[in-house]
Structure 1
Amino acid sequence: MASSDPLYSHRCTLPHRTLWFGWASLYEDRIHIQGWTWRGQYQKEVAVADIDEVDWRPRPERPNLLLHLEDGRTIPIRLRKGAGLWNAKLHDLLGQSLLEDRGIPKNGQREEGDEQAKDDEDQTAA
């Protein structure tokens, strides 16, 4: 595969922005987003090195890939297909584990302040 070929390329939309014919392409060193807005052609590039964390949510009608950048900004993207593939590949490119924040704590106990897990347990017991 040539270095100019994307690893993945899927149709996308951006929240709070009209984007017609939107496409997001994942390369080993960057993400390229392009499409058309009311003002003309839209293009944005995000360096993979600038991404601090990737948050993937399996929700089809809202942003399903959140890119948290090192400068504190967050770039939300809604990929029409392949968000799970992007999540796995971005974690690989960043040298991060997919299960890093989803695994069982080392001491086997839930961290203090984990209210969602407590609520889930309460609902299961009911």
Structure 2
Amino acid sequence: MRTLQSFNISLNTKLCQFLLTYRTTPHCTSKRPPTELMGRQLSTRLDLLHPHASERIERKASENEKPMKELDIGDVVLVWDYRQNTKKGIWTRGIVVLKLGPCTYNVQVDGNLIWKRPIDQMRLTSNDSQDNQNEL
């Protein structure tokens, strides 16, 4: 708290910063932060520097025992279409053009539109099947 005295911020903000630091710092005896011992994992600014976000996502997926789907560039997919004003929604055919992250892709739809979609809003189809847009 003494370190934060020189900053021109409210006492409440100083207290919150102190508690976050305390709760995310590993304890000297257990070598683990208190939040981890209670079953939680808090994110800090330092976590943004870690380049291993995909490993963390894959580890979390393996804990849930669900295999992560992966798509390749050029795969034909059905993509959830938000342009339709129906409660049910509609699936639109598209082609995967770019993988942005472990779960996010750019999909080309209607010849010239590029949509950014997470993998849970896409369904893989075969290239030669003639599925209609309302499938699934």
TM-score of the pair, normalised by structure 2: 0.28
Greater share of strand residues, 1 or 2? 1
TM-score of the pair, normalised by structure 1: 0.29
Higher relative contact order (CA 8 A, sep 6+): 1
Greater share of helix residues, 1 or 2? 2
